[in-house]
Structures are given as C-alpha cells and as structure tokens.
C-alpha cells in the first residue's frame, strides 16, 4: 500500500461478538478482519453482558485487523464504533461499569415500557416527541426497570451510556453519542434533535449523566486517549468518530442517505431481523421505531427479536443442519423464543402447529424459516405503508429489497425471503456492512468527507440481484391466520 494512503478502522460491537475491519480509506478495500466473542448471560427474559468484555474484545479485534492487514500502525488515521442499539450501560464515577449491561433483547422491562407508554399523553405523544412508543427493548424502559428493581444501582450511577457511547468514551475520553443511536433511547426527541426534558423528568434521569449529542456519527470526538492507544497498539493521533448504532452504520455502509423516500428498503437478517430505509420523511407509526439516521435525517425501522438465532435453535432441536430445510407445507411455526417486538408480544413463547405422524423434520425447520421471514416482511409492509406507499403496488413490489446480515449468505434464508416476498433481492457483495459503515464514519472524522458519499464511492452497497420468485400466498395466509388465532394466547 502506498505510504500516502491511510487506513481506517470500523468496529462492529454486536450482541455476540466484536468485528473490526481495516479499510483503505481511499478505495474502500477491505484489508483485514479481526474478531473476538462476547458472552451473553441470563434466562427468563434477562439478557446481560459485561461491558469490560466488549472493551477487551474491541482491543483484540483491532489488533488482529491491523496485524493481518500488514500495515504499520502509523498508517491508521481514524476509528469508529457501531454498536448494538438500546443497551443500558451504567457507569461508576471512574467511568467503569457499575453492573452488567442490560441488552436490547432483555424483555424484563416490558411492564415498565407499557406503563411509560401510557404516560405523557399516551402513545401518540411519544411518537410526536421521540418517534417511537416505548417497548421492552428501548433504553428508557430498561432504566425504569433498574430504578424499580435495583434502586441502589440507579442511585449510584454516575453515567448512562449506550454500548457504542461507552466504547467511544473508552477510546477518546469524550462522553458523546450521535442522533442515530440516541434515537433508540426514547428520551431523545427526533423532532427537536435534543434530549426531551419532560421524558427525563418522568424517568428521574439527570441530563448530566448523559453524553453530549454530536451532529453526526462522523463528528470527531477526539483522538485516542493514552490508555486506549496502548491497548490498541495505535498512535494517539488516530481520530475517533462519535460512531452510531449498528442499523445506522449498516445504512451508511450501503450508501443510503436521506435523499429519497424509501428508494432502498433493507431487510437485515441477524440475531434480530430488521427492516429499514433512509428517508427525509418522519413517519409516525406505533409499530415502528422512528429512528434518526446518523446524519440527522430519518431511518424508520421495524425489528423482530427472533430471526437467525431462533431458526438455528430449531435446527439444533431437530438435529438438522441449518440449510437442511424444506417448505413447511401444512406446518406453521411462530418462532417467538424470546418474546417478540414486532408484533409487540414481549411475553410470547414459540408456537408449532400442523404436525402429523408423517411430518418431515425438514418441513418443521422450513416452517421456522417461514415464520421468521413472515414476521420480518410484515414489518416491512408496515414500514412502507407508514411512509405512504402501498406495499402491493407493482412499482413498490418490483423494487429490489436489499438483503443483508448473516442470513443473507444462507440459501434457505434467501429462498424463503424470495418466496414469501415475491420481490427481487439485491445481496451486497460486502459482508461486513456495519463495520464498513463505521469505517466510513472513521474516514469522515479523519478527513471531513461525507461518509455516505464515501461509502457510495467505495461501492460497498453493490452486489448480486436475484430475480423474484412467485409469491407464496398460500403460506403467507396460513401463517397470518395462525397468528391471528393465537394472538390472545400469545399476549398472556
């Protein structure tokens, strides 16, 4: 690599692991990938992780990426973190975690979310203020749960951070967040671009405990703090971006900005399933999260808790490889193994119906794929309708879906999405879109370049287009009927 070129580091700190990519800042070439695992603990709705493990994993992944890229540490000019959204990190006065972080998929806070949603004028008022109605995943509900169940920890907290905020602070020493990840707290006003004082009062939350909101995730938070530079083996001159949430970083990696209205709907298949699109509109729908994008435009999003991890669990229970699936036929699976978010069923359990003596186990696994895909695609229809588009209109249905996440690399996932959506799919060639989006934010912090424009130049959102398959209306209607009939039971 020419000495005049710089390398930037993009970090994806997700639920299960940290991945760090070393990227040529000029061409977008992925030079190397480092990775390190996380531990998630808890049962009965609890999901927690030790933020110290996130930091250890980040340092290990970054060191591995720089080493395998075979570049001198002096070539690295910027770093940014994209993190799992919504997690509640409580800090001591010394900036270290007070207790394990409550993760986005911790559903213990469902009662607190429902109680909060009824306050301040009800759901419509929350939509107007924050763009989202509180649900169990939102940070506000988790903070309220902590106040009610562990008041000693709430009272002892000297800082409140999201996962990516905490890691950015460890890197730079700056307490800073961005509009995108902040919009997932339910105490940040997407209409005003600032923390909502009435919501903070309702939560008994001192704004001094929160990080400052930078104008965008590419904002330069500072440079590496001495301890961070030593831990990463990088020079202190490396620029640290404010960073953002994982979904917002994926949008940057795809080159999505706020120029159009849902020109590029995205389906992300990971531990959770998400659907989102960049837009300048600010749709208000209680079934969606009205997130901000990292540049302050909007990224409306629907999220399901049960996606690849839930389907893999069915494969394990059946003793099958995850690809050894067949269409479900008469079998219907609602794979709500961890409750559900869209639809909002935080206490739901999984449901399997339609079994016979002769049922092929592969059909049960296929039905798990179908149930998860149905939930994600129905959330997409809600998103399109909330933005004034008819999901069934040919002009909408003929537009390719961008399919990303680990599931997009699996044959069973892509074929199930094609069959149930009836739409063409664009599968980007780049696999680490969250980390690549973070790398573009890092380059923006180092050079002042627009991260979305830079990612577009890099071409990280381009890939293979799969033609549409005939839409499987029969399977779609069967799953919809079972969900409707089971809803009263699932709500308990």
Catalytic residues: 246
Residues of the chain falling short of pLDDT 70:
1-4, 258-263, 490-492
Residue 452 lies in a domain: no
**Residue 122 domain flag:** yes
Q: Does the annotation flag 85 for ligand binding?
A: yes
Q: Which residue has the tokens 């409750």?
A: 339
- Three-point CA angle 46, 307, 184, nearest 5°: 60
Please report, in angstroms and rounded to a whole number, the separation of the first and last CA atoms in the chain: 59
pLDDT at 142: 98
Does 144 carry a binding-site annotation?
A: no
Residue 295 lies inside a defined structural domain of this protein? no
CB atoms within 10 A of CB 248: 35
Q: What are 345's two structure tokens?
A: 């069923």
Question: Contact at 8 Å (CB) between 289 and 85?
Answer: no
Two structure tokens written together for 110: 């469902």
Token pair, residue 333, equals 């699976």
Indicate the SS3 state at residue 131. coil
Place of tokens 């995850």: 322
- Reported as type and span, the H/E element at residue 354 is none
How many domains does the chain divide into? 1
Q: Are 276 and 251 in contact (CB under 8 A)?
A: yes
pTM of the model: 0.88
**Within a domain: residue 19?**
yes
- Quick check: bond before 343 cis, omega within 30? yes
pLDDT at 258: 52
Residue whose token pair is 């704004």: 207
Q: How far apart are CA 131 and CA 188, in angstroms?
A: 9
What is the distance between the alpha carbons of residues 421 and 399, in angstroms, rounded to a whole number?
A: 11
Q: Are 90 and 97 in contact (CB under 8 A)?
A: yes
Q: Is 465 exposed, middle or buried (0-12, 13-18, 19+ CB in 10 A)?
A: exposed
Check residue 395 and give its pLDDT: 83
CA atoms of 191 and 197, how far apart (whole Å): 13
Tokens 């219907």 belong to residue:
332
For residue 251, count other CB atoms closer than 10 A to its CB: 36
User: What's the pLDDT score for residue 396?
Assistant: 84
Block residue for tokens 């009965």: 44
In a domain, 158, yes or no: yes
- CA neighbours closer than 13 Å in the CB half-sphere of residue 100: 15
pLDDT, position 193 = 93
Tell me how far apart the alpha carbons of residues 64 and 21 are, in angstroms, rounded to a whole number: 9
Tokens (6 digits) for 72? 């001198």
Q: Give the pLDDT of residue 4.
A: 63
CA 408 to CA 394: how far, in whole Å?
Answer: 24
Measure the CA–CA gap between 152 and 146, rounded to whole angstroms. Answer: 9
Query: Is 474 a domain residue?
Result: no
Going 426 to 432 to 434 to 440, the CA torsion angle's sign is negative
Q: Are 401 and 267 in contact (CB under 8 A)?
A: yes
Q: Which residue range is the domain that position 106 belongs to?
A: 7-248
Query: For the chain, give me the number of helices (H) and strands (E)?
Result: 17, 24
- 264 inside domain: no
- The alpha carbon of 73 is separated from its chain's Cα centroid by a whole number of angstroms, namely 30
Q: Are 298 and 290 in contact (CB under 8 A)?
A: yes
CATH of the domain at 93: 3.30.420.40
pLDDT at 3: 52
Structural element, H or E, at residue 13:
strand 7-13
Residue 340 lies in a domain: no
């Amino acid at each position: 690599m020419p000495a005049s070129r710089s390398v930037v580091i993009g970090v994806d700190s997700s639920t299960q692991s940290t991945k760090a990519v070393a990227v040529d800042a000029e061409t977008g070439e992925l030079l190397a990938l480092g990775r390190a695992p996380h531990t998630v603990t808890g049962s009965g709705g609890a999901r927690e992780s030790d933020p110290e493990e996130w930091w250890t994993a980040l340092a290990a992944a970054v060191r591995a990426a720089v080493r395998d890229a075979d570049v001198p540490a002096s070539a690295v000019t910027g770093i940014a973190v994209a993190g799992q959204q919504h997690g509640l990190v409580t800090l001591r006065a010394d900036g270290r975690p007070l207790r394990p972080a409550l993760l986005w998929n911790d559903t213990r806070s469902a009662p607190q979310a429902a109680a909060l949603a009824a306050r301040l004028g009800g759901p419509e008022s929350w939509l107007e203020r924050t763009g989202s109605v509180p649900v169990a995943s939102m940070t506000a509900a988790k903070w309220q749960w902590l106040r009610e169940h562990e008041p000693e920890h709430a009272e002892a907290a000297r800082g409140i951070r999201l996962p990516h905020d905490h890691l950015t602070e460890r890197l730079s020493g700056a307490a800073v967040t961005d509009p995108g990840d902040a919009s997932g707290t339910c105490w940040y006003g997407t209409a005003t671009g600032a923390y909502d004082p009435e919501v903070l009062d309702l939560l008994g939350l001192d704004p001094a405990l929160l990080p400052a909101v930078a104008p965008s995730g590419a904002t330069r938070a500072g440079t590496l703090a001495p301890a961070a530079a030593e831990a990463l083996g990088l020079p202190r001159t490396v620029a640290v971006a404010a960073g953002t949430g994982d979904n917002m970083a994926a949008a940057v990696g795809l080159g999505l900005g706020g120029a159009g209205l849902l020109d590029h709907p995205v389906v992300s298949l990971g531990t959770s399933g998400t659907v989102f699109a960049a837009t300048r509109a600010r749709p208000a729908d209680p079934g969606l999260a009205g997130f901000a994008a990292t540049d302050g435009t909007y990224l409306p999003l629907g999220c399901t808790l049960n996606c690849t991890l839930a389907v893999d669990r069915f494969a394990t229970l059946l003793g099958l490889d995850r690809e050894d699936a067949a269409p479900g036929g008469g079998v219907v699976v609602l794979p709500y193994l961890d409750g559900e978010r869209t639809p909002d069923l935080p206490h739901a359990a999984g449901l399997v119906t339609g079994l016979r003596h002769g049922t092929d186990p592969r059909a049960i696994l296929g039905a798990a794929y179908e149930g998860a895909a149905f939930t994600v695609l129905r959330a997409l229809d809600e998103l399109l309708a909330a933005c004034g588009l008819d999901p069934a209109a040919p002009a909408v249905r003929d537009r390719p879906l961008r399919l990303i996440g680990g599931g997009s690399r699996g044959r069973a996932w892509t074929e199930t999405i094609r069959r149930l959506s009836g739409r063409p799919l664009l599968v980007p060639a780049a696999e680490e879109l969250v980390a690549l989006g973070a790398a573009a934010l890092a380059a923006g912090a180092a050079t002042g370049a627009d991260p979305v424009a830079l990612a577009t130049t890099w071409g990280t959102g381009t890939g293979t287009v799969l033609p549409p398959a005939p839409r499987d209306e029969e399977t779609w209607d069967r799953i919809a009927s079972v969900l409707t009939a089971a809803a009263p039971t699932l709500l308990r």
